Amino acid sequence: MALRRAYNVDFLAEAKRIEPEIVENRRALHLHPELAYHEERTAKFVGDRLESFGVKVKRGVGGTGVLGTLVGAKRGRVVALRADMDALPVQEMAEVEFKSKSDGAMHACGHDTHMAMLLGTARILSENKDKLSGTVKFLFQPAEEHGGRGGALPMIEEGVMENPRVDFVFGLHIDGARKVGEFGVREGPIMAAPDTFRVKIIGKGGHGSAPHETIDPIYVAAHVILALQGVSSRMINPVRPFVITVGAIHAGTKENIIPDFADLEGTIRTLDEKTRKLAKRKVAEVAKGVSRSFGARAEVEFEKDAYPVTVNDPKTTAEAIRVLRRIPGMKVKKVEAILGGEDFSRFLQKAPGTFYFLGTNNPAKGCVYPNHSSRFKVDEDVLKYGAASLAALAYEFGNR
């Protein structure tokens, strides 16, 4: 079913009108970042702003989550819009006047901008409620950066996608690698399933001068790490995107002591469930097999509730692209899938929808660092386009 443009609302003009407020909200949120599951101050800020727009607010959803609901004047579909709220455990090094005041925490992935844009969208839609068809749910979600249970699942378990049931769901993410003036989107898989694994290699400790009397778990760990690269190069179909990284090694206390065990931590990134299951099985087999060959033993664990693959519904995304192309001054680029993870994927398992990116890379303003960098900066001129795009999607999909 094609979208019908029943109402002619200039969403970009509306966003430009309230642009100073969008920027002000972003800076206020940036000053006081909060880590996953601790977004109390952030949630209060968001909830209070929504209520000031006349949006019905439910707080403490799935922990610190906030659900805003706006009912339009006409019957229509239910559209959910999501912004994540948590910051990263990063000490900010970017030189901005609104630098983080929280030691060891920073909005280095742009979640402050996501909230500010969605608050702008909420105000735009609330002020045009008389023309709005259907219902819009504003999902302010905690703990996206957690990587395991996250914040989307607890909110879903508390019913945010029901009563009324959500028909379409959309999420927007700022992108430090994409240049300003661009939306990035694709149909189908757009972000990976991130599976964390831990390998405990149990050997036999002893004196560093007599390794033959021990089973050295550090030596075994080195072989395990090398062998794990063979999972991607020799055990998985090479045309399927797949990454395995060992990012942490913990073992030993002193240079002349061979320890009893060594711990490895890593991540697997895949874009389909078949490859995901095979990769996890092979990682466990290789770690245990290599360890056994040296007389050691390996215990392998995978984090429970890891995020699934983020899959954009093809039909909904094709329609969404048409909407985004009508935002003046913006281009829509088809992007390759990336192997970062997102728990927006859980919302997409409950309703068709689209996850897309907004470019903020602008060398002229020093906005050149990638997401998660301690020097990450955002070109705030792009925020109005994000707010306008979310409003347009909610408006037009509500009128389907």
**Angle (CA) 28 33 34, round 5°:** 135
- Quick one: DSSP state of residue 149? S
Q: How far apart are CA 11 and CA 18, in angstroms?
A: 11
Element (H, E) at 13: helix 11-17
Q: How far apart are CA 312 and CA 250, in angstroms?
A: 38
Judge whether 241 and 189 are in contact, CB under 8 Å.
no
Residue 62, phi then psi, degrees to nearest 5: 65, 35
Q: Is 395 a catalytic residue?
A: no
* Bridging pattern class, strands 74-84 and 133-141: parallel
Q: Is 307 a catalytic residue?
A: yes
Q: Give the CA distances from residue 16 to residues 13, 179, 314, in Å, rounded to whole numbers and listed in that order.
A: 5, 20, 31
- The two tokens of residue 53 are 């727009």
Q: How far apart are CA 109 and CA 83, in angstroms?
A: 12
Residue 334 CB partners (closer than 8 Å, separation 6+) = 184, 185, 186
Edge-to-edge strands, sheet with 65-71 = 56-61, 65-71, 133-141, 74-84, 168-179, 353-361, 182-185, 331-334
- Quick one: DSSP state of residue 157? H
Q: Give the CA distances from residue 154 to residues 55, 110, 121, 282, 324, in Å, rounded to whole numbers and listed in that order.
A: 22, 22, 24, 31, 30
The phi-psi region of residue 372 (left if phi > 0; otherwise alpha if psi is between -120 and 50; otherwise beta) is: left
Judge whether 184 and 357 are in contact, CB under 8 Å.
yes
The catalytically annotated residue of 39, 307, 319, 342 is 307
Q: Active-site positions?
A: 307, 380
